[in-house]
Amino acid sequence: MSDDEFMLDTDDLTRRMDGAISNLRTEFASLRTGRASASMLEPVMVEAYGQPTPINQVGTVNVPEPRMVTVNVWDKGLVGKVEKAIRESGLGINPQTNGTIIMLPIPELNEERRRELTKVAAQYAEHARVSVRNVRRDGMDTIKKNKDNMSEDDAKLWESEVQQLTDAYIKKVDEALETKQSEIMQV
């Protein structure tokens, strides 16, 4: 291998860092901000047919009003299990059942709950930062393994490129966190 043959796959690093940001957005979507959102039920798993099943695979999730989410359960036998899964999910919502329709009124958030949610959002953001740094470490390790096949200047150039990419994604995580925290604290 000659000096100019080593090419770091920055597209792969970018794709993996994009994945961390995408995962962060999904986690943020599950946080309640006082407004109803169908995505807040995505992490809820229902014990259906002997295995954990996402709630959207046992019923239709709708948002008929700004402060109400409904789940229209397709199988009458699962209504109780869906209700139980929602109660035990830690969302802090008290489901009300009407036949096969489970209504989830979204209460106003008090100041204490808002502060708790901002802390949870900060934890999600830290997980995303760790993921981005892990991708950075993988890129740096690849460069170190191939240092024999490139000049010192090329190695420094690649390392600086990986660091710039990392800094840009850490900034995206911080911006997403700031936006989410202000959304949560909004009354």
Task: For residue 63, report the phi and psi dihedrals to the nearest 5 degrees.
Answer: -125, 85
Q: What residue ranges define each of the domains in the chain, with the CATH number in brackets? A: 3-28+110-185 (1.10.132.20), 35-105 (3.30.1360.40)
Q: Mean per-residue pLDDT for 7-26?
A: 91
For residues 31 and 99, the model is more confident at 99
Q: How many residues does the chain have?
A: 187
| Tokens 């402060």 -> residue | 67
Residue 145: pLDDT above 80?
yes
Question: pLDDT per residue over 57-82, tens digit each?
Answer: 999 999 888 888 999 999 899 999 99
Residue 119: pLDDT above 60?
yes
Q: What is the pTM of this model?
A: 0.67
